[in-house]
């Protein structure tokens, strides 16, 4: 029952943000005269393997944002089932996601967070993730913290 309620919550949240146009949000930021305080990309999906596709796409947008605003702070918060793509045991299966995550964190100075609370529901611990992935206590709280700092939120479909 608890898992069904949690899954329903994620579905409803996804539907609320379904109409958000990801690329238009990036373009809107790029067309601003002034840089935002920062940008946080939110990923919440139930699709295993999706980070293999999303992280390279996000990287392209980060490059565009940093070309316009070189020192722009950027974060990524994944708090759906896709976050399990980044467990150490999935490093071979989702090698693209792991290589991209490592590059984003170490080379591009992007903060990458996953949700410890959500992981705990599936008996996955913080130690199950590599060191380049920050395990935040709660993904939604992490996003809220960024927004309180003035970061622009970009919700990925």
Contact in structure between 50 and 152 (CB atoms under 8 Å): no
* Percent of the residues in the chain that have a pLDDT greater than 70, as a whole number: 84
Report how many domains make up the chain: 1
pLDDT of residue 16 exceeding 90: no
**Mean pLDDT score, 92-104:** 97
Token reading at 45: 């999906």
Q: In this model, does residue 89 exceed pLDDT 80? A: yes
CATH of the domain at 66: 3.40.1260.10
Q: Domain containing 62: what range?
A: 2-155
- Smallest CA-to-CA distance from 78 within 28, 22, 123, 119 is with 119
Rg (CA), the chain: 15
Q: Is the pLDDT of residue 137 over 90?
A: yes
Question: 93 is written with which tokens?
Answer: 């299966």
H-helix segments, 82-138: 95-106, 116-121
pLDDT tens digit sequence for 20-79: 345 568 999 999 999 999 999 999 988 999 999 999 999 999 999 999 999 999 999 999
pTM to 2 decimal places: 0.84
């Amino acid at each position: 029952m608890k898992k069904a309620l949690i899954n329903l919550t994620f579905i409803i949240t996804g539907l609320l943000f379904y109409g958000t146009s990801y690329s238009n949000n990036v373009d809107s930021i790029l067309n601003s005269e002034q840089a935002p305080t920062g940008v946080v990309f939110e990923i919440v999906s139930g699709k295993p393997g999706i980070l293999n596709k999303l992280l390279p796409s996000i990287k392209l947008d980060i490059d565009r944002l940093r070309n316009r605003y070189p020192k722009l702070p950027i974060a990524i918060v994944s708090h759906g089932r896709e976050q399990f793509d980044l467990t150490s045991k999935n490093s071979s299966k989702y090698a693209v996601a792991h290589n991209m995550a490592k590059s984003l964190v170490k080379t591009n100075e992007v903060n990458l967070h996953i949700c410890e609370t959500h992981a705990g529901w599936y008996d996955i611990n913080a130690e199950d993730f590599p060191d380049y992935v920050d395990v935040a206590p709660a993904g939604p709280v992490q996003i809220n913290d960024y927004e309180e700092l003035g970061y622009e939120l970009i919700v990925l479909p």
